[in-house]
């Protein structure tokens, strides 16, 4: 099926080890490989494809804009920029936005804004700012971001590292309190840890962080690049806790799986420290990206896709809990149409092996680490297809249990 391994390793840097599937086309929740075999996509581009592959609304916006103008650079304004900014801040209940391209760039921009706010506004002494982050977080792959990663694979070999970060256990408010000092300018957390395997903090965590940040004049930055834009049954995952961060990073689904589109949204008095010449991007906020982002917002503004994620999520959770009760999953963590599942160790199946078997049966997923896999189908998936995916998962695990004599 796959071109020979030699071809692949000869010309392509080996920083990924994909499943043995070569995709040629896709529509909504289904992808088709070069042999015509169909698979249900239960990864959805790490939630970049929340609205499905080949989405007609997004395609139309991109194609229409493609024939008008695609890039002006930020040296000039264009007619899509301000409407995009207004609509995105309105959707997210924020005041101002800063457009970028990839998720990592949005995180970098939030870090830069927080540091500059710390020096210009809070009055932190030059070069002394620190930012508190969490263990097992994922915020991207730039040199600064991997500097505070606790994943050796992501970090090792890339030093010297950027200083100015303090790592605390995720979800531990007391540890955050202890780490804060007068030079702390921000806390940067995922409201739900995606790459770590859909790890949910205690319900009290985000409200407690909000309160702590208000008391200490520290910025609360939430990275919603994976959790945001409908996935959790809310527009933002932080909506579940009824709080608003000072800065929120968005990416992935903001470009609908068509283009990289990212942004920092948040407080005007913070983002306005980014004065002319102090930050920028050639492609950030380009007309094509803005037109696409606006189409994404029109989908989310209706609110129906969020409700759909919540409804389908409850079905998925019920199916997964049954598999857990059967003794084939050690843990399941769900929020909206997003789940992290840990294969029961007695089954002797790594996440990778499970994903390979699911792929054979026509379902695409990705392991995060060890025996944990993440399920995140497009939010447009039908109830029937979702149940079909759960049937495949259940039967693969049942077969494994039977084959090794575990019941």
Ligand X SMILES: *Cc1c(COP(=O)(O)O)cnc(C)c1O
Residues serving a catalytic function are 138, 223, 252
Show Cβ contacts of residue 254 under 8 Å, excluding neighbours closer than 6 positions: 228, 229, 261, 262, 263, 293, 296
Q: Which is nearer to ligand X, 190 or 385 (CB)?
A: 190
Report the distance separating Cα 160 and Cα 137, nearest Å. Answer: 20
Q: Which is nearer to ligand X, 194 or 351 (CB)?
A: 194
Q: Which is nearer to ligand X, 18 or 303 (CB)?
A: 18
Helix (H) or strand (E) holding 98: strand 96-100
Helix (H) or strand (E) holding 246: none
Q: Which of residues 21-60 bind ligand X (CB under 6 A)?
A: 46
- Minimal distance, residue 323 CB to ligand X, in Å: 25
- Minimal distance, residue 251 CB to ligand X, in Å: 5
- Minimal distance, residue 9 CB to ligand X, in Å: 23
Q: Is 187 helix (H, G, I), strand (E, B) or coil?
A: strand
- Provide the 10 A C-beta neighbour count for residue 15: 6
- Minimal distance, residue 226 CB to ligand X, in Å: 3
Q: Which of residues 190-219 bind ligand X (CB under 6 A)?
A: 190, 194-195
Output Rg (C-alpha) for the chain, integer angstroms. 21
Q: Is 275 helix (H, G, I), strand (E, B) or coil?
A: coil
Q: How many secondary structure helices (H) and strands (E) does the chain include?
A: 14, 15
- Minimal distance, residue 152 CB to ligand X, in Å: 18
- Minimal distance, residue 49 CB to ligand X, in Å: 13
Phi, psi of 329 (to 5 degrees): -125, 135
Q: In the bound complex, which residue of the shown chain has the CB atom lying closest to ligand X?
A: 103
Report the distance separating Cα 39 and Cα 68, nearest Å. Answer: 35
Report the distance separating Cα 393 and Cα 132, nearest Å. Answer: 38
- Provide the 10 A C-beta neighbour count for residue 249: 32
Residue entry with tokens 């806390």: 187
- Asked if 99 touches ligand X (CB under 6 A), the answer is no
Q: Give yes or no for a cis peptide into 294 (omega within 30° of 0).
A: no
Q: Binding residues for ligand X, how many (CB under 6 A)?
A: 17
Token pair of 124 as six digits = 């932190």
Token pair of 155 as six digits = 């970090």
Phi, psi of 35 (to 5 degrees): -95, 5
**Binding string to ligand X for residues 342 to 381, with x set by CB under 6 A, is what?**
----------------------------------------
How long, in residues, is the chain?
407
**Which residues share a beta bridge with 39?**
31
Q: Which of residues 387-406 bind ligand X (CB under 6 A)?
A: none
Q: Which stretch binds ligand X (CB under 6 A): 65-73, 101-109, 326-334, 392-400?
A: 101-109
Q: Which is nearer to ligand X, 106 or 273 (CB)?
A: 106
Q: Which is nearer to ligand X, 143 or 395 (CB)?
A: 143
Q: Which of residues 173-192 bind ligand X (CB under 6 A)?
A: 190
Q: Which is nearer to ligand X, 136 or 353 (CB)?
A: 136
Report the distance separating Cα 82 and Cα 223, nearest Å. Answer: 23
Q: Which of residues 129-168 bind ligand X (CB under 6 A)?
A: 138-140
Q: Which of residues 216-255 bind ligand X (CB under 6 A)?
A: 223, 225-226, 251-252
- Minimal distance, residue 45 CB to ligand X, in Å: 10
Residue 252 Ramachandran class (φ > 0 left, ψ -120 to 50 alpha, else beta): left
Q: Is 170 exposed, middle or buried (0-12, 13-18, 19+ CB in 10 A)?
A: buried
Q: Which is nearer to ligand X, 105 or 344 (CB)?
A: 105
Q: Which is nearer to ligand X, 33 or 246 (CB)?
A: 246
- Minimal distance, residue 141 CB to ligand X, in Å: 6
Task: State the residues that interact with ligand X by CB under 6 A.
Answer: 46, 102-104, 107, 138-140, 190, 194-195, 223, 225-226, 251-252, 260
């Amino acid at each position: 099926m796959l071109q020979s391994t030699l071809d692949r390793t000869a010309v392509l840097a080996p920083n990924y080890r994909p499943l043995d599937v070569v995709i040629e086309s896709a529509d909504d929740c289904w992808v088709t490989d070069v042999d015509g075999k169909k698979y249900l996509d239960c990864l959805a581009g790490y939630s970049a494809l929340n609205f499905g592959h080949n989405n007609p609304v997004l395609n139309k916006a991109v194609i229409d804009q493609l024939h008008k103008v695609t890039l002006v650079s930020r040296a000039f304004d264009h007619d899509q920029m301000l409407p995009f900014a207004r609509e995105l801040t309105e959707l997210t209940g924020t005041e101002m936005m800063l457009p970028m391209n990839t998720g990592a760039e949005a995180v970098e921009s939030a870090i830069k804004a927080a540091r500059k706010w710390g020096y210009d506004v809070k009055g932190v002494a030059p070069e002394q700012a620190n930012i508190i982050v969490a263990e097992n977080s994922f915020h991207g792959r730039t040199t600064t971001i991997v500097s505070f990663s606790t994943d050796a694979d992501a970090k090792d070999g890339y030093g010297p590292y950027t200083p100015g970060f303090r790592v605390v256990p995720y979800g531990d408010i007391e540890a955050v309190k202890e780490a804060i000092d007068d030079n702390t300018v921000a806390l940067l957390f995922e409201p739900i840890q995606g790459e770590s395997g859909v790890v949910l903090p205690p319900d009290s965590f985000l409200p407690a962080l909000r309160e702590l940040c208000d008391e200490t004049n520290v910025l609360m930055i939430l990275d919603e690049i994976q959790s945001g834009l409908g996935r959790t049954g809310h527009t933002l995952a932080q909506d579940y806790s009824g709080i608003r961060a000072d800065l929120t990073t968005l990416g992935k689904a903001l470009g609908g799986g068509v283009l990289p589109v990212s942004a920092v949204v948040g407080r005007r008095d913070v983002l306005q420290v980014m004065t002319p010449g102090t930050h920028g991007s050639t492609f950030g906020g380009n007309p094509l990206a803005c037109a696409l982002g606006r189409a994404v917002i029109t989908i989310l503004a209706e609110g129906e896709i969020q409700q759909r994620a919540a409804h389908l999520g409850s079905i998925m959770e019920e199916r997964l809990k049954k598999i857990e009760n059967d003794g084939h999953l050690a843990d399941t963590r769900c929020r909206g149409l997003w789940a992290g599942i840990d294969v029961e160790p007695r089954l002797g199946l790594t996440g990778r092996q499970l994903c390979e078997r699911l792929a054979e049966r026509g379902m695409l997923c990705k392991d995060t680490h060890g025996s944990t896999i993440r399920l995140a189908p497009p939010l447009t998936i039908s109830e029937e297809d979702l149940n079909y995916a759960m049937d495949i998962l259940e039967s693969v695990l049942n077969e494994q249990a039977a084959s090794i004599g575990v019941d």
